[in-house]
Amino acid sequence: MNDDIHRRGAEAQRKRRGMLFFRRESMAGAYNGFRLAPFSAFSLRLCASAVGVLISLSTHAEVSVRDDVGNTVTLAQPARRIVSLAPHMTETLFAAGAGAHIIGTVEYSDHPEAAKKIPRVGGYSRLDLEAVAALKPDLLVGWQSGNAAAHLDKLKGLGYTMYVSQPNRIEDVASEIERLGVLAGTDAVAAAEAKRLRERLAALRAQYSGKSPVRTFYQIWKQPLMTVGRNQIITDAIRLCGGENVFGALEQMAATVTVEAVIAANPEVIVASGMGDSRPEWLDDWKRWTSMEAVKRDNLFFVPPELIQRHTPRFLDGTERLCRHLETVRQRRGY
């Protein structure tokens, strides 16, 4: 009797083990000779389903950042239909990994190469608001000092979510890349790009800190004669290179000045960009004013505008050129 009870108990125990854990299989396709029993397979499917739900929730999670003018920008989920209202913002969006989500941009958005294929919605200073609306964007990226305030206000009034850009320091470019990455759900790409930019910036600061100051006049254009004021990012670049903007006390981003004011400021170097890839001919017009230190030592230099007049990662390329020019000025002092 006891043997029979023992035998039946052992048999029942083996069945329970088989149902709850594993059962030896000789059939092809078994993993390491074992196959999950029905209860375990169901558990795995349930876990897989839960993971899928979590991934879905993560993908559609609300994202929120503060833009350059202090507004909180919130989206129910990462942007997938972005319209860029400035060339530098198009380039920065690509740097943040969001290029594939740009469905519209403005004239002169020409970097990287893929930006040239994006449909246009006018120019940054003359937006085609109907073209913007027709694209049904879920995020607009504007430019405070470049876009017409009336256009930005109109688009906001129509209910569009808008991020407004105005990076006035080089560090702001890195921060902007990160924030756009958050809004587009491309955080990892954006963080890596921002890290590279900050490392380059730190290296430049280390290289040019402590250099003797160079009085610098930066010329945007000839007619009208324009320069940059205190809060413009180019002034930040001049400062990084050890230069002193001779009009750095002006409040305007882009200020109109006179030839007499430039002569009176007596800069040691004049740096110009103009509008194209070539050195502007009008830069040599300063040679008639032989009393200026910049003219005496032939310190008239050019930096391509796309490298120093756009608030993008390439701004550091322009800054490096500017720093080299200012170092040439120091070498020409002869003392």
On whether residue 206 sits in a domain, the answer given is no
- How many CB atoms are located within 10 Å of the residue 20 CB? 10
On whether residue 144 sits in a domain, the answer given is yes
Q: Could you say which DSSP state residue 287 is in?
A: G
Say if residues 219 and 225 touch (Cβ distance below 8 Å). yes
- Is the Cα torsion angle 189, 194, 199, 201 positive or negative in sign? positive
Q: What is the mean pLDDT of each run of 10 residues along the chain (335 residues)?
A: 41 41 34 36 42 45 96 98 97 98 97 97 96 98 96 97 97 98 98 98 96 97 94 97 97 95 98 85 95 97 94 97 98 83
Q: How many angstroms separate the Cα of 3 from the Cα of each of 13, 17, 244?
A: 15, 21, 101
On whether residue 205 sits in a domain, the answer given is no
220-279 pLDDT per residue, tens: 999 999 999 999 999 999 999 999 999 999 999 999 999 999 999 999 999 999 777 789
On whether residue 255 sits in a domain, the answer given is yes
pTM above 0.85, yes or no: no
Residue 319: closest CA among 241, 263, 250? 241
H or E stretch at 72: strand 72-75
CATH code at 284? 3.40.50.1980
Domain span at residue 17 reads 2-56
On whether residue 170 sits in a domain, the answer given is yes
As beta bridge partners, residue 123 has 126
Token readout for 40 is 């375990």
- pLDDT at position 31 is 27
Q: Tell whether 11 and 109 lie within a shared domain.
A: no
What is the rounded CA–CA span in Å between residue 236 and residue 265?
19
- pLDDT at position 335 is 55
Of the candidates 199, 227, 253, which is a domain's last residue?
Answer: 199
Q: Tell whether 272 and 237 lie within a shared domain.
A: yes
On whether residue 239 sits in a domain, the answer given is yes
> How many separate domains does the chain show?
3
Token readout for 26 is 């000789």
- pLDDT at position 299 is 98
- pLDDT at position 277 is 77
Question: Phi first, then psi: what are they for 36, rounded to 5°?
Answer: -65, 135
Q: Tell whether 81 and 182 lie within a shared domain.
A: yes
- pLDDT at position 274 is 79
Q: Tell whether 288 and 263 lie within a shared domain.
A: yes
Three-point CA angle 124, 171, 314, nearest 5°: 55
Q: Is 237 helix (H, G, I), strand (E, B) or coil?
A: helix
On whether residue 71 sits in a domain, the answer given is yes
Q: Tell whether 74 and 141 lie within a shared domain.
A: yes
- pLDDT at position 278 is 80
Three-point CA angle 90, 95, 101, nearest 5°: 55
